[in-house]
Amino acid sequence: MTITDIEKPANYSKNEINKLYEKYTSVATEINATRTENISDQTVIFILSESLANPDRVPGLTLSAPVLPQIQQIQAGTTSGLMKSDGYGGGTANMEFQTLTGLPMYNFNDMISVLYTEVVPDMTYIPSISNAFEPENRLAIHLSDATHYARNSVYTKLKFDKFIATSGSDDTADNISTFGAYPSDASTYDNVLSEIDASQSQFFL
């Protein structure tokens, strides 16, 4: 059965899209006029962690000391906030797609279950935050098989230069330690740190 990735909105036309483009281009120009930094001049480490949590947000729980003091310090000194997850215990690739592109899953057909395998192949252009960086400075690290959720194909389409995985990719992870049945967060972070080049502006996923 063939389904449409996204239903055509009422009053959809090239003219209406141009109006939106002009509106938000104007908004962006106004915001960027006072900015002194450019994201493409930075190194961005984009971490999606299923295990990271701040217990201080649990109602009724009192802590003797902050659990994430470094992260909270960074949050206090820059633009920061909270993100609502639309899934727990699975569907990680959908969260990945949404955070990279800013395209929420609720805009797509309800019949679609995996955006990477059902939507991305139909896209001629993917509006990803990684596009702000040169392709040779785009790196993905996911300590699982590279073919899960077709990540290898998706990262190629996003022009990532390197994809480090446990199998199924040209580059495999080094020194993997496990926590339970899975690679530890520390293993992921160690692989990120080993790839950082201080002379370049890089994007890590």
Q: In the chain, where are the structural domains located? A: 40-49+88-204
Candidates 41, 72, 76, 77; CA nearest to 56 is 72
DSSP designation for 133? S
Residue keyed to tokens 């690290």 = 141
pLDDT in tens, 95-134: 999 999 999 999 999 999 999 999 999 999 999 999 999 9
Alpha helices in the chain (DSSP H): 14-32, 69-76, 92-101, 115-118, 151-157, 185-195
Query: So what's the pLDDT on residue 1?
Result: 59
Question: Cα(161)–Cα(181) distance, rounded to whole angstroms?
Answer: 29
Q: What is the pLDDT of residue 38?
A: 87
Higher pLDDT: 202 or 49? It is 202
Overall residue count recorded for the chain in this entry: 205
Q: What is the pLDDT of residue 60?
A: 93
- Token match 């990735």: residue? 5
What pLDDT, on a 0 to 100 scale, did the predictor assign at position 51?
78
Task: State how far the Cα of 95 lies from the Cα of 72, in Å rounded to an integer.
Answer: 23
The angle subtended at Cα 139 by Cα 135 and Cα 145, nearest 5°, is 130
CA dist., res. 159 & res. 9, Å (int): 30
Give the residue from 130, 140, 107, 116 showing the smallest Cα distance to 42. 130
CA separation for the pair 31, 88 (Å, rounded)? 34
Enter the tokens of residue 166.
Answer: 């446990």
Mean predicted lDDT score pLDDT of the chain: 91
- Read off the pLDDT of residues 177-205 as tens digits, 9 standing for 90 and up: 988 888 999 999 999 999 999 999 999 99
The percent of residues above 70 in pLDDT, for the chain, comes to 100
The rounded distance, in Å, linking the Cα atoms of 177 and 182 is 8
The domain defined by 40-49+88-204 folds into Alkaline Phosphatase, subunit A (3.40.720)
Q: What is the mean pLDDT of residues 59-85?
A: 89
What pLDDT is stored for residue 4 in this prediction? 87
Q: Which residues contact 132 (CB under 8 A, 6 or more apart)?
A: 39, 40, 203
Range scoring the smallest mean pLDDT among 42-46, 86-90, 160-164: 86-90
Residue 49 scores a pLDDT above 90:
no
